[in-house]
A and B are shown apart, each in its own frame.
Chain A
Amino acid sequence: MVRNRLRSLAIILTLAAGMAFTMVWLSLGEGFFHKLISENIKATEGFVVVQSPTYYEYPSNGNTINISASELDEIANIKGVTYVKPYVLATGVVQSPYNTKSVSIRATDFDMFDQVIPLKSRIVDGQFIDETTTNRIVIGVDLAEKLNLRVGSRVVVGASDKSGELSMRSLRVYGILDTSGSEYDDGVVLTNRETLRSLLGMEPDEYTRIGLEIDAVENLPRIYSAMSYLNTDTRTVFRWDEIKPEIVSFIAFDRALVKVITYMLIFLIILGILNIFLLSVFERRREFSTILSLGSSPTYLRLQILIEGVLYGFLGAVIGSLLTFLLLIPLSRIGVDFAKILNLSEISELFFQFSDLRVYARLSMSNFWGTFIYIWVASAVLNLVGVKKCTDVDITDRS
């Protein structure tokens, strides 16, 4: 293999390219899942959530927690916590002179919330609410259309209060937003916390949920652990995957899909590797015939080809690793903007909550070593076909 540098180089570089391609694919897939998790969690509850232990089973308007301002400050000061989202949530109805619709009513610190999900920029009519704009609501375009509402229209918002009594308020439409997503455009009413607390009869330090954004998923275990002191009989600290099993399932499904595609890629790479080895053996048939006719034992020749295969595989995997790292430096820092690649001018049409579609490659050690060992072992095993074929020559044929 040392003597025929061109052939050896071609084999090793093909193996390396196959490995780099597989690793980059897996890394981008992992980066996409990471983005999917981050963006989804960011758009919904948060990476860590404090709420009533029974809220998910019984999401009634009165199933709330009490958390003091000082406790909120303590949470905000935990290293790695970027945003604290204190939610007041309710299910209720919105009634206009024309129609009635059941909705999800949400109130939070919208100045902070807008830094996580850019809702303010989605206002198409009127204004967005803040802590000072009481008795106002923001609704989506679809809901406005169904209830025949405009900015300034009065509506009746009703919900069961803490004690289970029906509570109603007359509120004014302050703004209409268009997210191109059905959740906010059709089923959500946004108002400020004071207004919603008043509707539900809640205390000032009473919340439905406290959601946390964090700087990196890797910090989640530490932050989760640091918040454990908040656990009481009436409130529990949850991790996102405990309360969002549907996202876990969705990602597991997508990961399986990527694996299937990876296996198909790997199958193609296997065919390529097999072809290389068979071609390499085929073009050396005359050489093998000479070697055997000179008295080399078939075992000696097979051993040489076997060692060649193992070395090709190892060198291919090592060079493939270097190639992968070279490719991953820009892919993990600059990322790949799929919006540009897919020529999507409006990302929000696909993923409203995504600020962009830039995916950063992430290579896990298990994917790295898995692919490394796979390429090495697969090439060594596939080379066994060459090992068998190398002695299938007619040593009396010296043409």
Chain B
Amino acid sequence: MKSIIKLEGVSKIYKQGDVEVLAVNDVSLEITAGELTAMGGPSGSGKSTLLNLIGALDSPTSGVIYVDDDLTTGYTSHQQSALRRHKMGFIFQSYNLIPVLTAVENAEYVLTIQGVPRSERRAMALEALDSVGIADLQSRYPRQLSGGQQQRVAIARALASSPAIILADEPTANLDSKTSESFLELVSQLNKTSGITFLISTHDKDVMSYCDRLIWLRDGQIHYDGNEKEFNFTTN
């Protein structure tokens, strides 16, 4: 299988006043296309930082990152924007929908900034909303939707532009268990049917159990990389 994400010796050091914090410490990993991967670990283990580095939202202090065989380390902010725009989809914990746009307008937002013509992007956004089962809510504003519905709009937004990778940061943290399960089934189904690569940062064991692969981080390093069923949560 083709490698879609590859990290070699990636570290990230933050400065907090005079103190340097090593958030990600010499991480190397490879994710192949079509994988459904969970990234777990205790708070402060570096999950979100690693997700930000992979998603070109931040730049590593050292090491190199390849996305779809392109070396993204050293990209300018404009190149990083273009990378996110064309190859990545994002799902955030707080959904981060644009409050003044309707569901369908939120879903087509990435297509808008990609420059897709209006008629095409509207059809693509509606298709994405349909695939997550909320096409009938297309005209509603985020404030008129439940948390689960907003998260589905966020998935539709991530899906609409058919990205190579979808990065999800704690996507179920604000959802109840029923909605969370429904979300996971949807992600699992999309992964199987569309072959989209998902990398999900999470604390939720249920999310990890839905994924093919678990990467467990501790103190900024990969502590475990394998099947969730073989991972012993009590000792880690």
Interface residues of A (CB under 8 A from B): 3-4, 286-287, 289-300, 395-396, 398-399
Q: How many A-B residue pairs have CB under 8 A?
A: 63
Q: Tell me if A398 and B98 are in contact (CB < 8 A).
A: no
B89's closest neighbor in chain A, by CB? A294
Q: Tell me if A398 and B58 are in contact (CB < 8 A).
A: no
Q: 1/0 per position for B75-109, CB-CB distance to A under 8 A?
A: 00110011111101010111011111100000001
Q: Tell me if B82 and A297 are in contact (CB < 8 A).
A: yes
Q: Tell me if A287 and B98 are in contact (CB < 8 A).
A: yes
- Other A-B pairs beyond A295-B86, A296-B85, A398-B92, 4, CB < 8 Å: A287-B100, A295-B114, A297-B82, A298-B78
User: Which residues of chain B from 111 to 127 have a CB within 8 Å of any chain A CB?
Assistant: 113-114
Q: Tell me if A286 and B96 are in contact (CB < 8 A).
A: yes
- B169 at the A/B interface (Cβ < 8 Å)? yes
B57 contacts which of A286, A296, A396, A399 (Cβ < 8 Å)?
Answer: A396
- B10 at the A/B interface (Cβ < 8 Å)? no
Q: Tell me if B52 and A295 are in contact (CB < 8 A).
A: no
Given A396-B57, A398-B94, A399-B94, also A294-B85 (CB < 8 A): yes
Q: Tell me if B52 and A396 are in contact (CB < 8 A).
A: yes
B161's closest neighbor in chain A, by CB? A295
Q: Tell me if A291 and B85 are in contact (CB < 8 A).
A: no
List residues of chain A with CB within 8 A of the CB of B113.
291, 294-297, 300
Q: Tell me if A297 and B81 are in contact (CB < 8 A).
A: yes
Q: Tell me if B57 and A295 are in contact (CB < 8 A).
A: no
- B65 at the A/B interface (Cβ < 8 Å)? no
B110's closest neighbor in chain A, by CB? A294
Ranked 7 nearest A-B pairs via Cβ: A295-B85, A3-B100, A295-B84, A290-B96, A297-B81, A396-B52, A296-B113
CB distance from B130 to the nearest CB of A (A): 21
Given A287-B98, A294-B110, A298-B77, also A398-B86 (CB < 8 A): no
User: Which residues of chain B from 38 to 92 have a CB within 8 Å of any chain A CB?
Assistant: 48-49, 52, 55, 57-58, 77-78, 81-86, 88, 90, 92
List residues of chain B with CB within 8 A of the CB of A289.
96
List residues of chain A with CB within 8 A of the CB of B57.
293, 395-396
List residues of chain B with CB within 8 A of the CB of A299.
78
List residues of chain A with CB within 8 A of the CB of B114.
295
B169 contacts which of A3, A4, A398 (Cβ < 8 Å)?
Answer: A398
List residues of chain A with CB within 8 A of the CB of B78.
297-299
List residues of chain B with CB within 8 A of the CB of A286.
96
Bound CA span A289–B57, Å = 10
A395's closest neighbor in chain B, by CB? B57
CB distance from A285 to the nearest CB of B (A): 12
CB distance from A205 to the nearest CB of B (A): 82
Bound CA span A141–B169, Å = 93
CB distance from B22 to the nearest CB of A (A): 16
List residues of chain A with CB within 8 A of the CB of B49.
396
